[in-house]
């Protein structure tokens, strides 16, 4: 046997460190040994799940290498352990290609170990196990993992793989994974494209709490307390919190079998750190407090690397990892590309690490005017502005008379509203002063006057007199512009009108203006990652599967003809601008880049729904398909919309029923009807869980959507294969590499 191994600690701020990753190389000649090892014949090897409580995993397959992972259990929190690794071409370990001992499962990394095994053969199945000495002639073994290297880049072979995302554990079962195991046992690999874990112990707004499938933190003092009363829960912040999540999720026997059966290629989205995050900034408090937290981001990344079988560009077949702390956020590089024979290049993009804030801040003052009449005239031209200006709102300039005389009264009124919404009393006056200085919606201005006058009438403001409202004649004569209000921002410190449910025409116009004036950069990838993508598109593979963790599907609610709803709702909404829809010009630039070569297609997730979209605009050389995949188990998009409808303001029972019909019962039809003609959604399913299975050959790529009704997620069918299979349906599509045409099968 010959083996090379080495390791380097990766220091992270203060006491935190990344786990060691060791590189070993398979011997040219297999070892022959009794019982599948080079021990004395009396050595006893027994599978012991308590020693390997999260079993094993493999990932990032390349033609000649593979990452192998395990975690050693049963040790004191401060005691290091050592492991032995065996890799064999057969499940019985009659011969071993790698047999290396003394691999460190360090306490500082929660006894996790990643090993890169090099010197393997392309397109080949291998079997592996980890062993720990338990006595003089006894060893405990992990269960055996099976993995498969990538085919050689010159091999014209079919490639079959799954794309998956969003596998919430709380109150939910992994029926989808169980069906994959029995229906697709020979997948070459799995692309896990985000939300492998959810960072909370049970957010009642979207997680099913109260079942036996629960998550708890040992270190609640190090967590973020959210909610209150019976709706209280925690979000992970400490290293211990994030580790508890991975250990709990990976305790599931079905998920363990998935990792034992297939190599996995992972990329993070938001929940690996924090819901709807951008860079190191979370969004739980919607602007009520500063949520920029680089140390928390680093801790989340540390644990992701500890528990996921991820390769690293710094690792080679002859040198151990030497990762510098400066490569963590904001300089992390998880985006990467992997080749699978002649026909497939997989390109994984990191959407979260480098993106800017959402265009409309959650703490935006609804009355703040962001596009004045002169600005709109400059963007639209006078003739167009004159036609559309009734859709905009009148505004006043509070730096001029007579409106500045109102400020001593209205600033305290607005500040009090902020305090009542939960904003810090010490900060509220300054924010109110900033928000009311300049151009302010006349509608909101009158609302504040009305609130102030009500307080005067109630005797709450001693010595004050009521203020006159803006008269109708003055109101009608005021200039018109776009305030945050006109993009859907109706409440203080809220995700509605910021990340969700924005008015599409005004939002897109504002986004265009901000991009053109350099005030907002619609590039969530960053310059270096865009260069990486450009280089990847030069691949000579037949197909290039670009992974975007969030969808490019043009999700719109066109309610412009819904006369049974109030006038304010009779417009077109974007339901989710945390996705690429939040970067309209940036999304178009991405699609135009992808359209420069045949055979490129997108796979995406995060939205908890299934969509097949074919983008083709005048500036695109050829169509680009986006296959958006459903959630493994997290609540469906339909669930979320249904919950949101219940909280819509200004609707009576009849109007809520109409909104429910359009946006819940008929959600798929609404989305498909609303999609633009140059980006039709040819398939939509918002109410089923599932997974996408891709089969790539020289001639075509086929995509199977394996789907199961959302009602089944709370029922454990994993032990009943026949009942499980009966619950699944399938939708299939083919993609032509030369034309980009998608055909339903």
DSSP state of 662: I
- Take residue 276 and report the two structure tokens written for it: 């709807």
Q: What SS3 class is residue 226?
A: strand
For residues 523 and 537, give the distance between their C-alpha atoms in angstroms, rounded to a whole number.
Answer: 18
For residues 435 and 492, give the distance between their C-alpha atoms in angstroms, rounded to a whole number.
Answer: 12
Q: Is the pLDDT of residue 308 over 70?
A: yes
Q: What SS3 class is residue 688?
A: strand
Q: What SS3 class is residue 532?
A: helix
- Take residue 172 and report the two structure tokens written for it: 């939910």
Helix (H) or strand (E) holding 475: helix 472-477
User: What separation in angstroms does the CA of 171 have from each of 204, 206, 227, 529?
Assistant: 11, 11, 19, 37
The per-residue pLDDT for range 252-307, each reduced to its tens digit, is: 999 999 999 999 999 999 999 999 999 999 999 999 999 999 999 999 998 999 99
Average pLDDT, integer, range 612-633? 96
Judge whether 651 and 538 are in contact, CB under 8 Å.
Answer: no
CATH code, 284: 2.60.40.380
Least confident interval from 2-6, 105-109, 330-334, 709-713 = 2-6
Same structural domain for residues 412 and 452? yes
DSSP state of 665: I
- Helix then strand count (H, E) for the chain reads 17, 37
Which of 453, 481, 515 is the last residue before a domain boundary? 515
Which of 494, 515, 536 is the last residue before a domain boundary? 515
Same structural domain for residues 648 and 526? yes
What's the mean per-residue pLDDT of the chain?
92
Q: Is the pLDDT of residue 50 over 80?
A: yes
Same structural domain for residues 377 and 426? yes
What pLDDT score does 651 carry?
Answer: 86
Tell me whether residue 189 is in a domain: no
Judge whether 201 and 234 are in contact, CB under 8 Å.
Answer: yes
Residue with tokens 């109030």: 566
Q: What SS3 class is residue 669?
A: helix
Judge whether 448 and 414 are in contact, CB under 8 Å.
Answer: yes
Judge whether 315 and 21 are in contact, CB under 8 Å.
Answer: yes
For residues 482 and 441, give the distance between their C-alpha atoms in angstroms, rounded to a whole number.
Answer: 8
Same structural domain for residues 511 and 525? no
Q: Is the pLDDT of residue 333 over 60?
A: yes
DSSP state of 368: B
Tell me whether residue 495 is in a domain: yes
Tell me whether residue 325 is in a domain: yes
Alpha carbon of residue 284 to chain centroid: 15
Closest to 246 in 3D by CA, of 532, 19, 443:
19
Same structural domain for residues 471 and 605? no
Same structural domain for residues 407 and 305? no
Q: 702: left (phi > 0), else alpha (psi -120 to 50), else beta? A: beta
Same structural domain for residues 209 and 286? yes
Same structural domain for residues 605 and 732? yes
3-state SS, one letter per residue, for 252-310 = CHHHHHHHHHCCEEECCCCCCCCCCCECCECCCCCCCCCCECHHHHHHHHHHHHHHCCC
Same structural domain for residues 527 and 493? no
∠ Cα 328 329 335 (to 5°): 85
Cβ atoms within 10 Å of 311's Cβ, excluding its own: 20
Q: Is the pLDDT of residue 4 over 60?
A: no
Same structural domain for residues 405 and 528? no
Residue with tokens 């993070």: 268
Q: Residue 65 pairs with which residues in a beta bridge?
A: 62, 118
Q: Pairing between strand 44-47 and 138-141?
A: parallel
Tell me whether residue 111 is in a domain: yes
Judge whether 189 and 149 are in contact, CB under 8 Å.
Answer: no
Alpha carbon of residue 53 to chain centroid: 27
What pLDDT score does 42 carry?
Answer: 62
Distance, first Cα to last Cα, the chain? 51
The per-residue pLDDT for range 415-465, each reduced to its tens digit, is: 999 999 999 999 999 999 999 999 999 999 999 999 999 999 999 998 899
Judge whether 164 and 706 are in contact, CB under 8 Å.
Answer: no
Closest to 501 in 3D by CA, of 656, 362, 683:
362
Residue range(s) defining the domain that contains residue 78: 10-149+197-267+280-329
For residues 529 and 547, give the distance between their C-alpha atoms in angstroms, rounded to a whole number.
Answer: 13
Cβ atoms within 10 Å of 595's Cβ, excluding its own: 19
Percent pLDDT > 70 in the chain is 93
- Take residue 61 and report the two structure tokens written for it: 């397959």
What pLDDT score does 275 carry?
Answer: 98
The per-residue pLDDT for range 539-568, each reduced to its tens digit, is: 999 999 999 999 999 999 999 999 999 988
For residues 74 and 26, give the distance between their C-alpha atoms in angstroms, rounded to a whole number.
Answer: 29
Closest to 221 in 3D by CA, of 204, 234, 230, 232:
234
Average pLDDT, integer, range 155-172? 98
Q: Is the pLDDT of residue 11 over 80?
A: no
Confidence tier at 314 by pLDDT (50, 70, 90): low
Residue with tokens 């993106």: 355
Tell me whether residue 212 is in a domain: yes
Average pLDDT, integer, range 675-694? 97
Closest to 555 in 3D by CA, of 537, 533, 536, 573:
573
- Take residue 110 and report the two structure tokens written for it: 């929660």
- Provide the H-helix boundaries in 103-185: 175-183
For residues 359 and 328, give the distance between their C-alpha atoms in angstroms, rounded to a whole number.
Answer: 25
CATH code, 563: 3.60.21.70
Q: Residue 708 pairs with which residues in a beta bridge?
A: 689, 728
Confidence tier at 25 by pLDDT (50, 70, 90): confident
Close Cβ partners of 537 (under 8 Å, ≥ 6 residues apart): 544, 593, 594, 596, 597, 600
Tell me whether residue 181 is in a domain: no
Closest to 274 in 3D by CA, of 310, 301, 313, 250:
301
Tell me whether residue 184 is in a domain: no
DSSP string over 44-75: EEEE-TTTSTT-EEEEEEETTEEEEEEE--SS
Which of 515, 545, 569 is the last residue before a domain boundary? 515
Confidence tier at 312 by pLDDT (50, 70, 90): confident
Give the largest Cα separation in the chain, rounded.
99
Close Cβ partners of 42 (under 8 Å, ≥ 6 residues apart): 137
Close Cβ partners of 25 (under 8 Å, ≥ 6 residues apart): 2, 3, 4, 98, 117, 118, 119, 317, 318
What pLDDT score does 320 carry?
Answer: 36
Q: Phi and psi dihedrals of 300, rounded to 5?
A: -60, -45
Closest to 716 in 3D by CA, of 725, 724, 704, 707:
724
Tell me whether residue 78 is in a domain: yes
For residues 336 and 538, give the distance between their C-alpha atoms in angstroms, rounded to a whole number.
Answer: 14
Q: Is the pLDDT of residue 508 over 90?
A: yes
Same structural domain for residues 511 and 570? no
Domain count, the chain: 3
Alpha carbon of residue 618 to chain centroid: 30
Closest to 115 in 3D by CA, of 73, 83, 140:
83
What pLDDT score does 35 carry?
Answer: 39
- Provide the H-helix boundaries in 567-705: 584-594, 637-646, 653-660, 667-674
Q: Is the pLDDT of residue 729 over 70?
A: yes
Q: What's the alpha-carbon Rg for the chain, to the nearest Å? A: 28
Cβ atoms within 10 Å of 350's Cβ, excluding its own: 24
For residues 406 and 416, give the distance between their C-alpha atoms in angstroms, rounded to a whole number.
Answer: 16
Q: Is the pLDDT of residue 587 over 60?
A: yes
What pLDDT score does 602 carry?
Answer: 98
Residues in the chain: 745
Cβ atoms within 10 Å of 586's Cβ, excluding its own: 20
Same structural domain for residues 464 and 534? no
């Amino acid at each position: 046997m010959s083996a090379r191994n080495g390791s380097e600690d990766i220091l992270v701020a203060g006491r935190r460190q990344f786990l060691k990753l060791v590189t070993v190389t398979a011997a040219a000649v297999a070892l022959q040994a009794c019982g599948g090892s080079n021990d004395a014949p009396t050595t006893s090897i027994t599978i012991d799940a308590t020693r390997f409580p999260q079993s094993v995993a493999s990932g990032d397959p390349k033609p000649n290498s593979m990452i192998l992972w395990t975690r050693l259990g049963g040790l004191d929190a401060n005691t290091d352990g050592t492991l032995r690794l065996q890799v064999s071409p057969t499940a019985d370990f009659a011969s071993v290609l790698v047999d290396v001992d003394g691999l460190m499962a360090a306490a500082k990394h929660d006894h996790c170990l990643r090993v890169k095994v090099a010197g393997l053969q392309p397109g080949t199945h291998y079997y592996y196990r980890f062993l720990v000495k338990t006595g003089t002639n006894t060893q405990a073994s992990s269960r055996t993992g099976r993995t498969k290297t990538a085919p050689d880049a010159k091999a014209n072979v079919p490639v079959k793989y799954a794309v998956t995302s969003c596998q919430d554990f709380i109150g939910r079962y992994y029926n989808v994974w169980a069906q994959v195991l029995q229906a697709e046992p020979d997948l070459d690999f799995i692309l896990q494209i985000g939300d492998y874990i959810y960072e909370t112990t049970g957010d009642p707004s979207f997680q099913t709490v109260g079942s036996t499938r629960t998550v708890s933190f040992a270190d609640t003092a190090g967590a973020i307390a959210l909610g209150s009363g019976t709706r209280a829960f925690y979000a992970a912040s400490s290293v211990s919190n994030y580790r508890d999540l991975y250990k709990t999720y990976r305790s599931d026997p079905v998920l363990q079998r998935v990792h034992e059966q297939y190599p996995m290629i992972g990329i993070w989205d938001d929940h690996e750190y924090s819901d709807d995050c951008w860079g190191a900034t979370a969004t739980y408090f919607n602007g009520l407090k500063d949520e920029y937290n680089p140390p928390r981001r680093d801790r989340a990344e540390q644990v992701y690397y500890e528990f996921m079988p991820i390769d690293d560009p710094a690792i080679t077949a002859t040198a151990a990892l030497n990762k510098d702390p400066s490569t963590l956020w904001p300089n992390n590089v998880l985006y990467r590309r992997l080749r699978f024979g002649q026909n497939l290049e997989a390109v994984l993009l990191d959407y979260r690490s480098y993106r800017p804030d959402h265009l409309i801040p959650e703490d935006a003052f609804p009355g703040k005017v962001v596009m004045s009449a002169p600005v709109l005239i400059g963007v639209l031209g006078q003739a167009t502005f004159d036609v559309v200006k009734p859709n905009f709102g009148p505004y006043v300039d509070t730096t001029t008379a007579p409106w500045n005389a109102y400020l001593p009264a209205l600033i305290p009124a607005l500040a009090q509203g902020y305090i009542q919404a939960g904003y810090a009393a010490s900060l509220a006056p300054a924010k109110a002063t900033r928000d009311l200085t300049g151009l302010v919606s006349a509608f909101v201005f009158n609302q504040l006057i009305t609130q102030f006058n009500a307080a005067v009438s109630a005797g709450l403001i001693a010595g004050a007199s009521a203020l006159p409202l803006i008269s109708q004649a003055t109101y009608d004569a005021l200039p018109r512009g776009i305030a945050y209000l006109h993009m859907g921002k109706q409440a203080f410190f809220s995700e509605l009108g910021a990340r969700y449910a924005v008015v599409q025409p005004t939002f897109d116009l504002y986004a265009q203006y901000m991009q053109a004036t350099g005030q907002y950069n619609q590039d969530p990838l960053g310059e270096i990652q865009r260069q990486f993508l450009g280089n990847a598109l030069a691949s000579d593979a037949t197909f290039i599967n670009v992974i975007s963790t969030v969808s490019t599907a043009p999700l719109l609610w066109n309610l412009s003809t819904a006369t049974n709803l109030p006038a304010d709702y009779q417009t077109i909404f974007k339901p989710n601008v945390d996705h690429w829809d939040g970067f309209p010009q940036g999304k178009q630039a991405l699609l135009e880049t992808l359209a420069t070569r045949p055979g490129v297609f997108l796979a995406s997730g995060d939205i908890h729904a299934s969509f097949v979209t074919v983008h083709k605009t005048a500036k695109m050389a050829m169509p680009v398909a986006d296959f958006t995949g459903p959630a493994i188990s997290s609540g469906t998009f339909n669930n979320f919309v249904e919950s949101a409808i219940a909280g819509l303001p200004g609707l009576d029972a009849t109007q809520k029923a109409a909104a429910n019909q359009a946006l819940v019962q008929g959600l798929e039809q609404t989305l498909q009807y609303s999609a633009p003609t140059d980006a039709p959604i040819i398939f939509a399913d918002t109410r089923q869980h599932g997974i996408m299975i891709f089969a790539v050959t020289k001639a075509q790529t086929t995509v199977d959507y394996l789907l199961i009704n959302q009602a089944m997620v709370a029922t454990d069918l994993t032990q009943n294969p026949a009942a499980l299979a009966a619950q699944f349906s399938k939708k299939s599509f083919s993609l032509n590499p030369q034309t980009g045409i998608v055909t339903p099968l």
